[in-house]
Amino acid sequence: MIPGYWFSKNTDKAWAEKYFLIFVPIFFAYNTVIQKMGWLDVGNFWHVAQNVLMWLPYCVLLPLWLRRNSGVPWQRSYWFKFNVYMTVYIFFTTYFHTEYFFDITKLLRTGENTIAVELDNRPTETSIPGLALKLKPGGNIWYDWWHYGGIVRDVWLTQDDGVLIRRQQIRSDVDLEKNSAQVKVAIYIENSGAKPQKLSVTAHLYAPDGSDLGNKSQSVTLAPGSKQSVELVLPIDKVQLWDLDHANLYDIRATLTDSANRLLDSHTDHFGNRKIEIRDRHLYINGQQVRLTGMTRHEESPWEGLAETAGTIKHDYDDLKILHTTLTRPVHYPQHEQVLEYADTHGILFVPEIPIWQARADQLGSPKFIALARKMLTELIEQNANHPAIFAWSVSNESDMSTDEGRAYFKQIKALVNQLDPSRFVTFADNDISYGADPKKEAANDADFIMMNQYYGAWNGPEEGLVKMLEHAGSSFPDKMFIISEFGTPGIFGTNTVEADKLRVHILHHQLDLFAKYDWIAGAIFWCYQDYKSHRNLWPGHVEGYVDHGVVDEYRQRRPSFFEWEKRNSPAVLNAKWKYVGWYQTGGFEVTTGRKPVSELPSYPLKDYKLHWEYRDGEGKLLYRGDFALPDMEQPQTLHAEWTTDPSIHHATLQLTLLNPRGESEAAQTLNYLFPVASGQDIKDMTLPSVKP
């Protein structure tokens, strides 16, 4: 636009500008009608029909007829170019954290080629993540994490022969009684070439130790420009189950060969055989009840922002395992592949989520918003569903789910997820329940289980209201299992960061003890691991910075709450005492250990553990050491160790460490010994005034 002119001086462009301005109120009126008619189920007949009836006549046919004598070829006109731009922008280029692919074969030229990628990360009312319009009355509609731009995940360029394996979908049906599994794999292949291809698709199955368990093949003819899935079934006898302490990961290597047996492509994914169920409001892994705890974590650091490297991811998740994390959401958006790999190999149950945060009812009812949510969930599930750590999918966080639009959104999105991945649960993170919403209006009624965010002692008000809220929530949804998906406190509820962490320590102890009393609470997730960059919830006077909310700060320096959480969330009890010989000389020790019962939180089976101990003198010299094998810690057991007494030892330390099958510490205790030696003044050294000794 030229200064002083509202419309372009180019007559063709000005006509297009006026035309689309006139279209805006028509668009609003039309969408109001279809929303009132309930035609919001993206992908159904009426949704497709209304879009075609709106777009085609007004945006294509009418301008084509009106501009028939303009002298500008239709393919060069601005109204046509604008339609092309909007079609590409709306339907093809809106992504967040999920993989997407572009075939650039036809764009390549002989010699050097340059690939340029343009991204637009600006939030809007209909983008995901988008503006948090539910919070508009408060005046701050930024989402809760920093709006980093650019490419923050890996980028790759691949070359193929026109035929490829796009992905594979692996589903395992475990029979616990027979100790077997039926593994169903769907291999998705594509032919971008101009000729049909006669192909052989093979799935090779490998055990956790790498041994070959056999294969299945199928021959197919793939037409040019087509896609197809090939489904194969592979049985496993004497199956090795995946659980929190045993990362038994099998592999399926899919191969694609032509009629000459030439390998065209291969693709390998690992998977786990496990059975996760919800029965009677309780969570079960492989037939055994579990109650789990963990923390959320933003992909965020001062040195890398959102574009994390492998080192930062491993450091933080190693910390989370020190904190006994077995359950996490882990935050509001899809995670890096390495995060999911870590969860698979370290026994952390995951509930991935798409970044719908504090969405208002009209956003949840927007056809464009719903279409984008469907696209993101489809990509998320297709890319990540082979990970055994994932046991449920979350479709929003703290949004208007007690409204007509919220209930309709969840109902249709849940149906989509059930179609894409019928083996997993579907839920969302709800905060309406903790604020007293009418249970009859809650979309949570349709969830497979309820994830509830609550911040009593902070945002929800004084902590005295927590018991009443839990009692009401439990009775309002009598058939639903609950997971406390967020609890904790931000620094602004303390006078300074030190006092805030003291409050954090109090909340984690008090509320975990309280949650444990309600057996329908199967897990609790603390918010959060580290301080994170944001425009929200900052200390007064700050407009950007790091939210004081973590058990470590943004530089990963541990606060006292880190160590309190570590101690409180051990899944085992460990109580040791010295065995004295003679008069206070150490001759050994006695220790009682076992898993925490299901009446406590956390609680889960502990098998194939080991109790390692070391006895050292005051200078750190190792005197004795040993290990107790603990194949099953279901029942408490008392163990003993003895050694020859050494009267010269006056100062010693006994360190006991309970190790899981991966060698990670799950409980520890230190006993310090100091031989009692008294000192004083002998009478011969005493003198009294005027008295001769």
Q: What is the pLDDT of residue 2?
A: 45
Q: What is the pLDDT of residue 525?
A: 98
Query: Residue 289 belongs to what H/E stretch?
Result: strand 288-290
Cross-strand partners of 456: 461
- In the chain, the amino acid numbered 390 is I
Q: Are 583 and 676 in contact (CB under 8 A)?
A: no
Q: What is the pLDDT of residue 99?
A: 67
Which of the pair, 63 or 506, is modelled with greater confidence? 506
Residue 394 pLDDT level (bands cut at 50, 70, 90): very high
Q: Which of 537, 484, 489 is nearest to 512 (CA)?
A: 484
CA distances (Å), 33 to each of 38, 114, 117, 390, in order? 9, 47, 38, 39
Which of the pair, 409 or 689, is modelled with greater confidence? 409
Interval 246-273 mean pLDDT: 96
Which of the pair, 105 or 358, is modelled with greater confidence? 358
CA distance 20 to 25: 10
CB atoms inside a 10 Å sphere around CB 457 = 22
Q: What is the pLDDT of residue 30?
A: 72
The structure's pTM equals 0.85
Place of tokens 């001086």: 9
Whether the per-residue pLDDT at 12 is higher than 80: the answer is no
Whether the per-residue pLDDT at 190 is higher than 60: the answer is yes
CA distance 636 to 566: 21
Q: Which of 82, 74, 87 is nearest to 19 (CA)?
A: 82
Cross-strand partners of 669: 656
Specify the pairing of strand 292-295 against strand 521-526. Answer: parallel
Residue 156 pLDDT level (bands cut at 50, 70, 90): confident
Q: What is the pLDDT of residue 203?
A: 98
Query: If you average pLDDT over each of 79-83, 654-658, 673-677, which comes out highest?
Result: 654-658
CA distances (Å), 458 to each of 50, 249, 482, 517, 530, in order? 46, 41, 21, 22, 18
Q: Are 143 and 363 in contact (CB under 8 A)?
A: no
CA distance 431 to 486: 9
Q: What is the pLDDT of residue 40?
A: 47
Lookup: tokens for 172: 């395992």
Whether the per-residue pLDDT at 459 is higher than 80: the answer is yes
**For the segment 495-532, what is each residue's pLDDT rounded down to a tens digit?**
999 999 999 999 999 999 999 999 999 999 999 999 99
Q: What is the pLDDT of residue 273?
A: 98
Specify the pairing of strand 263-272 against strand 276-279. Answer: unpaired
Specify the pairing of strand 349-350 against strand 327-328. Answer: parallel
CB atoms inside a 10 Å sphere around CB 322 = 15
* Three-point CA angle 317, 392, 485, nearest 5°: 65
CA distances (Å), 45 to each of 34, 49, 52, 99, 565, in order? 13, 6, 11, 28, 52
CA distance 479 to 472: 13
Helix and strand counts by DSSP (H, E) for the chain: 12, 27
Q: Are 27 and 86 in contact (CB under 8 A)?
A: no
Q: Residue 438: which residues within 8 A CB-CB, separation 6 or more? A: 402
Burial of 663 (C-beta count, 10 Å sphere; 0-12/13-18/19+): exposed
Q: What is the pLDDT of residue 41?
A: 46
The three-state secondary structure class of 631 is strand
Which of the pair, 129 or 569, is modelled with greater confidence? 569
- In the chain, the amino acid numbered 106 is K
CA distances (Å), 587 to each of 331, 584, 643, 649, 677, in order? 50, 9, 5, 11, 18
- 164: number of CA atoms within 13 Å, CB side? 12
Let me know how long the chain is.
693
Lookup: tokens for 470: 């839990």
- 217: number of CA atoms within 13 Å, CB side? 10
Residue 191 pLDDT level (bands cut at 50, 70, 90): very high
Q: What is the pLDDT of residue 385?
A: 96
Whether the per-residue pLDDT at 202 is higher than 90: the answer is yes
Across the chain, mean pLDDT equals: 90
Interval 25-37 mean pLDDT: 68
The three-state secondary structure class of 140 is coil
Q: Give 234-252 as a DSSP string.
A: EEEES-----SS---EEEE
Lowest mean pLDDT across 25-34, 133-142, 539-548, 549-558: 25-34
The three-state secondary structure class of 549 is coil
CA 385 and chain centroid, separation: 12
CA distance 566 to 558: 11
pLDDT above 90 covers a percentage of the chain that reads 71
Whether the per-residue pLDDT at 485 is higher than 80: the answer is yes
End-to-end CA distance of the chain: 112
- In the chain, the amino acid numbered 163 is V
**For the segment 302-349, what is each residue's pLDDT rounded down to a tens digit?**
999 999 999 999 999 999 999 999 999 989 999 999 999 999 999 999
CA distance 132 to 348: 30
Which of the pair, 219 or 60, is modelled with greater confidence? 219
Place of tokens 């949840």: 364
Question: Between the CA atoms of 76, 82, 86 and 88, what dihedral angle is there, to the nearest 10 degrees?
Answer: 20
Q: Are 130 and 122 in contact (CB under 8 A)?
A: no
Q: Are 554 and 514 in contact (CB under 8 A)?
A: no
